[in-house]
A and B are shown apart, each in its own frame.
Chain A
Amino acid sequence: MHELGDLYQEIILDHYKKPRNAGLIEQPSCSATGDNPLCGDKIAVTVKVNGDRVEDIRWKGAGCAISTASASLMSEAVKGKSKAEFAALFEKFHAMVTGNGPSDGLEKLEVFSGVSEFPVRVKCASLAWHTLKAALEGQKDPVSTE
């Protein structure tokens, strides 16, 4: 049996209660929205891109602890990363939460490794990531992971 503590680790609860990089950039280089209506999770991501790099990222959302903490920790992890570095990180994160890859090297994001034991919560953990990906790729339609 999987333990609840694996899912609701202290760092997740901390980022849920005190989300980092919350808010919206007034004149972003790109932005996107994500919506998981069945859960009631919503997010808007705004990004300032400098050359090829994510210079700044701010996001605003309403959602569960997993989706909120995921957005918060992602915003910390991607700052300063190039688009290619983000794409690689996205793949690694996605593999980990779906149980298809190791958590090694994901540093703080490793706290989401427990999500793979809770299949219905994968969509919560991945909503912010898919939304940021859509923003960087210039996708206009709202994203959903449901």
Chain B
Amino acid sequence: MSGNGHGRPGFDVRKIREDFPILKSLIHGKPLVYLDNAATTQKPSAVIHAIAKYYEANNANIHRGVHFLSEFGTKLYENARVKIQRFLHAADPKEIVITRGTTESINLVAQSFVRPGLQAGDEVLITHLEHHSNIVPWQMLRDEKGLVLKVAPIDDRGEVILEELEKLISPRTKLVSVAHVSNALGTVVPVKKIVEMAHRRGVPVLLDGAQAVAHQKVDVRDLDCDFYAFSGHKIYGPTGVGVLYGKAALLEKMPPYQGGGDMILSVTFEKTKYNQIPYKFEAGTPHIEGVICLGEALDYVNGIGLEAIAAHEHAVLDHGTKVLTAVPGLRLIGTAREKAGVLSFDLEGVHPHDIGTILDQEGIAIRTGHHCAQPVMDRFNVPATARASLALYNTAEELDALAAGLKKVAEVFRA
């Protein structure tokens, strides 16, 4: 790739970096190299300003007031829902449930879709590369109701072994729940194929899109998944807000997740009538400005275009793969043929935690640890890895800085 970090014509990474004020920071006197985007992404000025603007000009509670601000706020909130619907290419805004994040979205499916009617011995099928948030909700149902959690294996590259996954779908399988992109390995999982496999046996599918939505176009109707979950803060939006897409026919049949205001039509002490979808699943005053500003973040992403973003990130990923594998003693963990945005690695003789501390002194922010995916660490027989993860504003030079930093790590440990 060219030295200026351009992945394709028209995509100007220097201009994009201007949109993110935090990228001008100095950390320990060195320019910030932010490579922890799988944990959370930085926010563009458009999103930061929208948060302030909401409180300066629009703040009111929604869905209940007759006054101007409440009605206007409701409009902004529901507009954001439509933006999310279009972003996911869903059929209808009522299929977009607002949650606190991917974790809550998965828990909602566990509690309101899988739990009702669950018999001991019924199964949920996941894969070995899942984040803890797509493992623990099922274990809770296992402990409470006798659900059986089945795990499809991954190979040494970090790819899901599809034939094995297919064999694990049984007449008792209530749901297949898989990550679209692995947070610890970067593997892009062939979820469309998995949906086809599951649907052939009449089994619905939940996709954990936390690590996917910022890096590639997602079309839930093309994927034909039954549920799709993602978090706002991993796609340049605020923390504390997330999305659960669900096919309307399924959401209609599901009982509410939590009880409270906004999710009801009428309440007496004898009987409560629940609201329509998606409001049935949105108890209590929501994260109003979070939802509105997630809409701003999606506008920002759409303005650049996910195709251009993906092309740029892949160019940086390829460059990063090249310069990191040239570091003596470095081993990449996760070498799937199709990857997105993640470089997980270990360095011979150096614990990832020490790598993280030394790189931090160089202004380089990476994540070290188990990445909330301990089974993945066990699979590759490592206690932890170091992980650099990309966003649209990262450049080839930053990956060069990472490689140089890693050489410094080696020097410290050679002394």
Give the B-binding residues of A (Cβ under 8 A). 1, 4, 7-8, 10, 13, 17, 37-42, 62-66, 68, 118, 120-121, 124
Contact = CB atoms under 8 A, between A and B. Distances in A.
Given A1-B28, A13-B415, A39-B384, A64 B351 contact: yes
Contacts of B350: 65
B29 interface: yes
B33 interface: no
Nearest to A39: B353
- The interface residues of chain B, by DSSP majority, are classed as mixed
B50 interface: no
B415 A40 contact: no
Given A1-B28, A4-B412, A41 B354 contact: no
20 contacts: A4-B412, A8-B358, A10-B415, A13-B413, A38-B370, A39-B368, A39-B369, A40-B351, A40-B353, A40-B384, A41-B351, A63-B383, A64-B351, A64-B352, A64-B353, A65-B351, A65-B354, A65-B413, A68-B351, A124-B353
Given A10-B415, A38-B370, 8 more contacts: A1-B29, A8-B358, A13-B415, A40-B369, A40-B382, A40-B383, A65-B350, A66-B354
B29 A40 contact: no
A7 B357 contact: yes
Given A10-B415, A39-B384, A41-B353, A4 B374 contact: no
Contacts of A37: 370, 374
Interface string B333-359: 000000000000000011111100110
B285 interface: no
Nearest first, the 10 closest Cβ-Cβ pairs linking A and B are A40-B384, A40-B383, A64-B351, A64-B353, A65-B354, A64-B354, A39-B353, A38-B369, A4-B361, A8-B412
B316 interface: no
A17 B412 CA distance: 12
Nearest to B369: A38
A16 to B, nearest CB: 8
Contacts of A120: 357
Contacts of B351: 40-41, 63-65, 68
Contacts of A42: 383
Nearest to B29: A1
A2 to B, nearest CB: 8
Most A-side CB within 10 Å, residue of B368, B382, B383: B383
Contacts of B352: 40, 64
A136 B382 CA distance: 30
Contacts of B225: none
A40 B383 CA distance: 5
Contacts of A4: 357-358, 361, 412
Interface size range of chain B in the complex: 20 to 34
B178 to A, nearest CB: 24
Nearest to B384: A40
Contacts of B349: 17
B153 to A, nearest CB: 22
A124 B369 CA distance: 13
A84 to B, nearest CB: 33
B377 interface: yes
Contacts of B28: 1
A118 B382 CA distance: 24
A64 B350 CA distance: 7
Given A4-B358, A64-B351, A124-B353, A40 B377 contact: yes
Interface in B147-195: none
Interface in B373-415: 374, 377, 382-384, 412-413, 415
A6 to B, nearest CB: 11
B403 to A, nearest CB: 18
Nearest to B370: A40
Contacts of A65: 350-351, 354, 413
Nearest to B352: A40
A39 to B, nearest CB: 5
Contacts of B354: 8, 64-66
A13 B409 CA distance: 12
A56 B155 CA distance: 44
Nearest to B385: A40
B369 A121 contact: no
A130 to B, nearest CB: 17
A20 B415 CA distance: 19
A63 B377 CA distance: 14
Contacts of A17: 349
A41 B369 CA distance: 9
A13 B383 CA distance: 20
Contacts of B374: 37
A65 B368 CA distance: 14
A124 B361 CA distance: 18
Contacts of A121: 353, 357
Contacts of B382: 40
Contacts of A66: 353-354
Nearest to B353: A64
Contacts of A63: 351, 353, 383
